[in-house]
Chain A
Amino acid sequence: MTRPLSERAGVEAALATVVRDEAGRLTAALVRLLGDFALAEDLVQDAIVAALEHWPADGLPTDPAAWLLATARRRAIDHWRRQRRYEEKLALLVREGPSPEHADEVDDRLRLIFTCCHPALSREARLALTLRAVIGLTTREIARGFLTTETAIAQRIVRAKRKIVEAGIPYRVPDPDHLAGRLSEVLGVVYLVFNEGYLATVGSSPDRRDLADDAEWLARLIVRLLPDQPEAAGLLALIRLHRARWATRFDRGGRLVLLRDQDRSRWDHGAIAEASALVLDALRVARPGPYQVQAAIAACHAEAPSWEQTDWRQILLLYDVLLRFTPTAVVRLNRAIALSEGVSPAEALVEVDHLESELSGYHLFHATRGELLRRLGRPDEARVADQRALELTTNPGERLLLEERLTHPLP
């Protein structure tokens, strides 16, 4: 019997949360037990697909972890029967059987995360593998998230797992000398997952997986596993701050609402306070990094009572720090916006114009110029810039805002 799609989507979302809590943990434990990353990952994926098939009809099992393990174990037995190593391997599973409270869990899960995010894998491979092995998404969900086919994602994962084996990518947590560097690769993957979710909000199908929620969950997991790493806390705070302002980013017509025009009473002020405290704690460790600084900037915005009462001087200082970590043209563009508020639009325009050669293909460069030119009383040039921004943007919410600007320019 098939349920209506919307209802099934709701059930799937609830189940997905349970799966997410258990799947990565199970994969991590099975890899340790079996010493075979590719196999363990396949077994758990099969168990997840089976769970999403059975649970909506049969109800949630009292112990989802045990259910997934039992299913994975059955699949393993099928696998080894074919492989003729049945007795020996089965003995291992029966004797040890990964229990969720295993003392090595922290290491197991970290090993899994660091392997999936190894810098020798392509960005796409890291994303797909992390979503599947660590977060427990099915291939179908990943394909939906990236608007591509299941076959494409399946191939990507097969290739990534083959590379792990053939290239000798080690299954371990990096040693202390390399931990910070490798962690920033991991956090990069988490942030990519978040951005996929963040950008997809408009025009996405209602049953599409909320990747931003997955990213927050994963960031939280990493903070729990590596409590001494302030950048992990910084990223979690940054994600929470963005999500606290989630609801006000678009109006009912799907048009992008700029930060200055957002209804701040609708922000999640509880979440903002928590995330701000988190980033302050992280900064006290005195090992600043790009995520902590971005979170601090986001916190300044989130805690300001209005656009006008924002602490622009503080934000400018933070951008100067951020530029030391990520000296990119996009960061300089964002700094220029703070400069236009904290100092003057004229100075900001000078800065922005310096970025033309690097950012001439970036819609927000032209949108920012348009805004500054309008404020400087140069409406004709502003129109040209807005027009150029419109030509370059594909996001429907941004398009609506720019079209509105062009047809109804403010006096």
Chain B
Amino acid sequence: MLLLARSDEEWEALSDEERDYPAIARWFGELAQKGVLTGGQELQSARSATTVSWSDGRPVLTDGPFMEAKETIGGFAVVDVPDLDAAIEIAKSWPATSHKVEIRPIVPH
């Protein structure tokens, strides 16, 4: 799983051209063509988040993300690759270089 982290504030300040969605679409397209992509989405800003937690076993809703942070998860991509090196190569090719890409292996169940 590639977690695409960004500063919502900085990302929202950019125009669509500056965000260069065609490059992002190409990135997803190439991965899909290679057959390694199994999913991926951009997320609305963390401002839109609703968090469910439990207090004494009862669900409680909170307006906002589970953790306040300057950088939050702004999207994700799930890729099926043999090892970390392959995932690092893909992460390095992510076009939005103001982001950070966190690579997290998925636990198979």
> Which of A's residues lie within 8 Å of B, judged by CB?
118, 120, 166-170, 174, 178
Decide: A170 and B105 in contact? CB cutoff 8 A: no
Q: Does B83 contact A (CB under 8 A)?
A: yes
Q: Which 10 A-B pairs have the closest CB atoms?
A: A170-B83, A168-B84, A168-B83, A169-B84, A167-B84, A170-B85, A168-B105, A167-B105, A120-B84, A166-B105
Chain A interface, DSSP helix/strand/loop, else mixed: loop
> Which of B's residues lie within 8 Å of A, judged by CB?
82-85, 87-88, 103, 105
How many angstroms from the CA of A18 to the CA of B88 in the assembled complex?
38
Residue of A nearest to B107 (CB): A166
Residue of B nearest to A120 (CB): B84
Chain A CB within 10 Å, residue with most, of B84, B88, B103:
B84
How many angstroms from the CA of A178 to the CA of B92 in the assembled complex?
13
Decide: B82 and A170 in contact? CB cutoff 8 A: yes
Beyond known contacts A166-B105, A168-B83, A168-B105: 16 more, CB 8 A cutoff? A118-B84, A120-B84, A120-B88, A167-B84, A167-B103, A167-B105, A168-B84, A168-B87, A169-B83, A169-B84, A169-B85, A170-B82, A170-B83, A170-B84, A174-B85, A178-B85
Give me 15 A-to-B residue pairs in the complex whose CB atoms sit less than 8 angstroms apart, sorted by A's number: A118-B84, A120-B84, A120-B88, A166-B105, A168-B83, A168-B84, A168-B87, A168-B105, A169-B83, A169-B84, A169-B85, A170-B82, A170-B83, A170-B84, A170-B85
Residue of A nearest to B103 (CB): A167
Residue of B nearest to A171 (CB): B83
Least CB distance, A177 to chain B, in whole angstroms = 10
Least CB distance, B91 to chain A, in whole angstroms = 11
Least CB distance, B109 to chain A, in whole angstroms = 15
Which chain A residues border B105 with CB–CB below 8 Å?
Answer: 166-168
Least CB distance, B9 to chain A, in whole angstroms = 28
Which chain A residues border B85 with CB–CB below 8 Å?
Answer: 169-170, 174, 178
Which chain A residues border B82 with CB–CB below 8 Å?
Answer: 168, 170
Least CB distance, B92 to chain A, in whole angstroms = 11
Residue of B nearest to A119 (CB): B88
Least CB distance, B90 to chain A, in whole angstroms = 13
Residue of B nearest to A174 (CB): B85
Residue of A nearest to B87 (CB): A168
Which chain A residues border B88 with CB–CB below 8 Å?
Answer: 120
How many angstroms from the CA of A168 to the CA of B87 in the assembled complex?
10
How many angstroms from the CA of A19 to the CA of B8 in the assembled complex?
54
Chain B CB within 10 Å, residue with most, of A166, A168, A170, A174:
A168
Least CB distance, A184 to chain B, in whole angstroms = 16
How many angstroms from the CA of A167 to the CA of B105 in the assembled complex?
6
Which chain B residues border A166 with CB–CB below 8 Å?
Answer: 105
Least CB distance, B8 to chain A, in whole angstroms = 27
How many angstroms from the CA of A120 to the CA of B84 in the assembled complex?
9
Least CB distance, B103 to chain A, in whole angstroms = 8
How many angstroms from the CA of A125 to the CA of B67 in the assembled complex?
29
